[in-house]
Amino acid sequence: MTPHWDSLWTNVRLATMDPEIDSGYGTIEDGALAISNGRIAWLGPANERPDITPDQQHDGQGGWITPGLIDCHTHLVFAGNRCHEFALRQQGASYQQIAEQGGGIRGTVQATRASSEQQLFERASQHLQPFLDEGVTSIEIKSGYGLETETELRMLRVARRLAQERPITVHTSFLGAHALPEEFEGRADAYIDHVCAEMMTAVAAEELADSVDMFCERIGFSLAQCERVIQSANQYGLPIRIHAEQLSNLRASHLAADHHALSVDHLEHLDESGIMALARADTVATLLPGAFYFLRETQLPPIELLRRHGVKMAVGSDFNPGSSPQASLRLSMQMAANLFGLSPQEVLAGVTRNAAQALGLNQQIGQLRRGLQADLLLWEIDDPAELVWHYGLHRPRQIIKEGQDVSGR
């Protein structure tokens, strides 16, 4: 059977992010890329292109093609706002103090519980649009502002519906163990029982979660409580991820590594023994510079040690109303370079290949590679580093999602 191509791009440079090509952008100068049935059918140097006439041919005019961007950590579905909390922080209150006084996450929980599924969907669609516009083609979305079964289910259904109605792949995470709801005050263990038994059972029955997340922190849950959540996730065959070592070091990274977590996220207080555990388990370290910036943290995540031990680093926006109210992965990319010292190559790997691994989707997305989903972006730039250097300047000229041109949607 003669191979058939739906579309072909020529006169392009490819940042494949394929580590087998090189350890930087996986560059192919003067390249070409063909798509068939929503997948990458061929890519390589233009002069090696097989003689196949595509249905559609595009002249890339010397621009760059990158994989679609992947935001592997967001809390995109929520209601209400936390402006008053921002004002309190301006007057000197810390994120932890506000949480301890019953504000913070609990404030968003109240507003989210009071919203219908349709209201949450409309708000989440608004939150999603800027990510789509800047070239995000896959996103992780957590629950965690319901903290009771019905609202957690509503949040996850909204996330699933976004995937159906918008041009984006959505990975959902059940984050029942995000904070202790008011009605369980003083009874954290009982709440964890509830998360593991009733809530997770309901979530699993509707197949609403692709992974299970938890907040291992003094203002969240203890190591022992998180371990129970993990055991329950194991029973449902759900992979895990952990909000770890954000405000202090509880050794959550060791727990994560012991259970082969997909990712550990935040990590400002991570130490070398935790890093070695992550390296052994090949758990991705997800950096969230937006939260570091917004909470005016001073403790930097141990980037040089992560590098030295070969831990894969991803970069996420952590978009949420409390610690990272920025609906932009591109801004997070610049922050990862400017605040954390990642190289442009590391940043781009952090929002493509490594972010895909953090979602357990590295066999589908995250690189330009034959057979992978055709999620790609065409940029009018001379160097991929421009995507990290500039913020607010470049929008993709074309956004291709599973082979379809979805630019402007």
Report how far residue 36's alpha carbon sits from residue 283's, in angstroms, rounded to the nearest whole number.
Answer: 33
What residues form DSSP beta bridges with 401? 404
Would you say 358 and 72 are in contact if contact means Cβ atoms under 8 Å apart? yes
Query: Min. distance of Cβ 155 from ligand NIG in angstroms?
Result: 13
**CB of 8 or CB of 170, closer to Fe ion:** 170
The helices-and-strands tally (H runs, E runs) of the chain is 16, 16
Query: Could you say which of 66, 74, 108, 373 contacts ligand NIG (CB under 6 A)?
Result: 108
Query: Could you say which of 8, 28, 69, 105 contacts ligand NIG (CB under 6 A)?
Result: 105
137 binds, among ligand NIG, Fe ion, none (CB under 5 to 8 A by kind): none
In angstroms, the first-to-last Cα distance of the chain is 35
Stretch that binds ligand NIG, among 50-58, 189-197, 229-237, 314-322 (CB under 6 A): 314-322
**CB of 18 or CB of 245, closer to ligand NIG:** 245
* 71-104 exposure pattern, b = at least 16 Cβ within 10 A, e = fewer: bbbbbbbbbbebeebeebbeeeeebeebbeeebb
Q: Is 291 an interacting residue with respect to ligand NIG (CB under 6 A)?
A: yes
List the structure tokens of 242.
Answer: 């952990």
361 binds, among Fe ion, ligand NIG, none (CB under 5 to 8 A by kind): none
Coil, helix or strand for 112? helix
246 binds, among ligand NIG, Fe ion, none (CB under 5 to 8 A by kind): ligand NIG
Q: How many CB atoms are closer than 10 A to CB 347?
A: 26
What residues form DSSP beta bridges with 263? 241, 284
Q: Among residue numbers 300 through 319, which ones bind Fe ion (CB under 5 A)?
A: 318
Q: Quickly list DSSP for 203-234.
A: HHHTT--SEEEEEBSTTSB-HHHHHHHHHHHH
372 binds, among ligand NIG, Fe ion, none (CB under 5 to 8 A by kind): none
Tell me the residue number closest to ligand NIG, measured at CB. Answer: 322
Q: Which helix (H) or strand (E) holds 377?
A: strand 376-379
CA angle, 90 then 147 then 91, to 5°: 5
Q: Among residue numbers 171 through 210, which ones bind ligand NIG (CB under 6 A)?
A: none
Contacts of 272 (CB under 8 A, 6+ apart): 302, 305, 309
31 binds, among ligand NIG, Fe ion, none (CB under 5 to 8 A by kind): none
Coil, helix or strand for 387? helix
Q: Among residue numbers 316 through 375, which ones bind ligand NIG (CB under 6 A)?
A: 318, 320-324
Q: Is 243 an interacting residue with respect to ligand NIG (CB under 6 A)?
A: yes
66 binds, among Fe ion, ligand NIG, none (CB under 5 to 8 A by kind): none
Query: Min. distance of Cβ 308 from ligand NIG in angstroms?
Result: 26
Report how far residue 58's alpha carbon sits from residue 52's, in angstroms, rounded to the nearest whole number.
Answer: 14
Which among 94, 69, 97, 109 has a CA at the least distance from the CA of 320? Answer: 109
**CB of 259 or CB of 266, closer to Fe ion:** 266
Q: What one-character DSSP code corresponds to residue 296?
A: T
**CB of 82 or CB of 401, closer to ligand NIG:** 82
Q: Is 104 an interacting residue with respect to ligand NIG (CB under 6 A)?
A: yes
List the structure tokens of 98.
Answer: 């506000």
**CB of 329 or CB of 374, closer to Fe ion:** 329
Q: Is 244 an interacting residue with respect to ligand NIG (CB under 6 A)?
A: no
List the structure tokens of 350.
Answer: 């952090």
**CB of 85 or CB of 375, closer to ligand NIG:** 85
74 binds, among Fe ion, ligand NIG, none (CB under 5 to 8 A by kind): none
Q: Is 246 an interacting residue with respect to ligand NIG (CB under 6 A)?
A: yes
Report how far residue 395's alpha carbon sits from residue 91's, in angstroms, rounded to the nearest whole number.
Answer: 37
291 binds, among Fe ion, ligand NIG, none (CB under 5 to 8 A by kind): ligand NIG
Query: Min. distance of Cβ 258 from ligand NIG in angstroms?
Result: 21
Q: Is 215 an interacting residue with respect to ligand NIG (CB under 6 A)?
A: yes
Q: Among residue numbers 88 through 127, which ones bind Fe ion (CB under 5 A)?
A: none
Binding site for Fe ion (CB under 5 A): 318
User: Which residues in this chain contact ligand NIG in the complex, by CB under 6 A?
Assistant: 75, 104-105, 108, 215, 243, 246, 291, 318, 320-324
